[in-house]
Structure formats: structure tokens, C-alpha cells
Amino acid sequence: MSAAQAGSVFQRARGRTLDAFPAGTPWRKQQTEDLQRVLGAVDREIPLVLVSGNHDVGNVPTAETVAEFRQTWGDDYFSFWVGGVLFLVLNSQFLHDASRCPALKLAQDRWLEQQLGIARERQCQHAIVFQHIPLFLRSIDEDDDYFNLTKAVRKELADKLTGAGIKAVFSGHYHRNAGGSYQNLDMVVSSAIGCQLGTDTHGLRIVVVTAEKIVHRYCSLDELTEKGLGGDLLELLRE
């Protein structure tokens, strides 16, 4: 895809970037080089946003695994603006288990409070969060699971996000499509291009943000190859 075709669209790898777990595991170096080579073919004018996941920094991250990610791919949490929309990217592994890097989690917590303050102050039309581990898969009150954040963590974070006007959280990790809502917050969980753990086909989620709404649709690779984007999504992009 060229920048001209994409317009103001950016691409996001929702975490994780690799299959091999951090530093020293078999094939880690080779997988990193393979992915960098593939991503090098993307038009340089299209920003690529990487979201760290458990295979990037570990289920229990350390200062060393986070440093490796930052050196290889860039910041593990950050914010950016596109067309008046605020996007926040979180390192959700800190929310899962930061027992081996508490200072790093504290730094992200302080940064997030600052960013949410900006969202409240600006009262932006839309504010969106990307993180690897979902807040929840179906409901804010569901049981704790490997694929979601614990009840205490998810509820506290969800209240902070909704209080700042965040409209949606986009996540992966589950390798299946899922999602739900909490107050005015949509939790969107997307399946994978690669390894599927459910019945969803290999694909990706197309998200279109207009002044009035956030529209998203999971599309199989076959659908995109045969039909491209649906006419309704293309019409929204023209807006």
C-alpha cells in the first residue's frame, strides 16, 4: 500500500511483534530480522505503530526485556494525535504483572494520568487506547483469565479511561474476536493474522474514525483480497 492509497491512515501491529519470547530464546534474533525486513517494505510515509505484548517483553517483564524492546522497536508506551484524535498506547504487561519492574510501571502510571488529564482538558472528539491484553473479553465483571486483566486492575483502569472520555480500547492477545462495552467505553478484541485459537479466519480489523463515530470491522484476508474494503467503509474514508 502506498501513502497515496492510504491517505492519512496509519497501520498498527497490536502486539505482539514476535512469536519467540524475549532475549535468548530460540529464533528470537532471526524472527526480529525477518519482521524488520518485511516492515521495511511498507511505504515510509505511512507511520507504523507497534504495541508491545507478552512475547515482546515477557509475561512478567523486566527492565532488561523492556530495554530490549525499546532499543529494537521504540517506546513501549506513548501517545500521538491524528486528525484531532488522541491515541494512547499502553504497555499492558505492566498491568498484568510488574513485580520485576515496579519502577517502570509507576512511570507509565504517572504518564497515563498526565495523558488522561490532557484528554479531559481538550475534550477531544475521540480518544482511543491500544494495548495488547484486553481489559475484558465480554464483560467488566467476568472472571479473571489468562487473556484479560484482573478484575481490580480492569475496573480501576476502565473508570479512569471513561472519566477522561476514552471511547474505545483495541486489543489482541486472545487470538479470537471478542469484546463488549462498559459505560461509554467499547472494548474491541481482534483475532490474529497468524495463529488462530478459535474459529475466526486469518484477518485484520479495519477501523475508520470520522468526526461523529468510530466504525470497525474484522475482515478475513480472503475477503480483502477478493473484495477489498466494503463500499460503506470507503465512503466513510472519503468523509
- 100: domain CATH number is 3.60.21.10
The pLDDT value given to residue 180 = 98
Q: How many domains does the chain have?
A: 1
The pLDDT value given to residue 232 = 84
The pLDDT value given to residue 24 = 62
Half-sphere exposure of 232 toward its Cβ, with a 13 Å CA cutoff? 5
Bridge partners (DSSP) listed for residue 203: 220
User: What strand order describes the sheet that includes 185-189?
Assistant: 78-82, 85-89, 127-130, 168-171, 185-189, 178-182
**Residue 201 within any structural domain of the chain:** no
**Residue 99 within any structural domain of the chain:** yes
The residue segments making up the domain with residue 55 are: 3-196
**Residue 70 within any structural domain of the chain:** yes
C-alpha separations of 204 from 74, 76, 175, 207 in Å = 23, 22, 11, 10
> What distance in Å separates the CA atoms of residue 88 and residue 106, rounded to the nearest whole number?
17
**Which of 77, 64, 68 is CA-nearest to residue 106?**
77
**Residue 219 within any structural domain of the chain:** no
pLDDT confidence bin for 64, thresholds 50/70/90: very high
The pLDDT value given to residue 205 = 93
Residue predicted with more confidence, 138 or 19: 138
12: three-class secondary structure by DSSP: strand
> What distance in Å separates the CA atoms of residue 155 and residue 157, rounded to the nearest whole number?
5
**Residue 210 within any structural domain of the chain:** no
**Which of 216, 221, 223 is CA-nearest to residue 232?**
216
Residue 74 has pLDDT above 60, yes or no: yes
Residues 6+ apart with CB under 8 A from 32: 18, 72
Q: What's the CA angle centered on 222, arms 217 and 224, to 5 degrees?
A: 50
pTM, whole model, 2 decimals?
0.89
Which grid coordinates belong to 92? 499492558
Torsion region of 124: left, alpha or beta (phi above 0 gives left; psi -120 to 50 gives alpha): beta
pLDDT confidence bin for 177, thresholds 50/70/90: very high
**Residue 19 within any structural domain of the chain:** yes
For the stretch 204-231, pLDDT in tens is 999 999 888 999 999 999 988 888 887 8
In the chain, % of residues over pLDDT 70: 89
Residues 6+ apart with CB under 8 A from 164: 116, 117, 119, 120, 127
Report the mean per-residue pLDDT for the chain: 88
**Residue 160 within any structural domain of the chain:** yes
The pLDDT value given to residue 172 = 95
**Residue 69 within any structural domain of the chain:** yes
Query: What is the rounded average pLDDT of the residues 156-181?
Result: 97
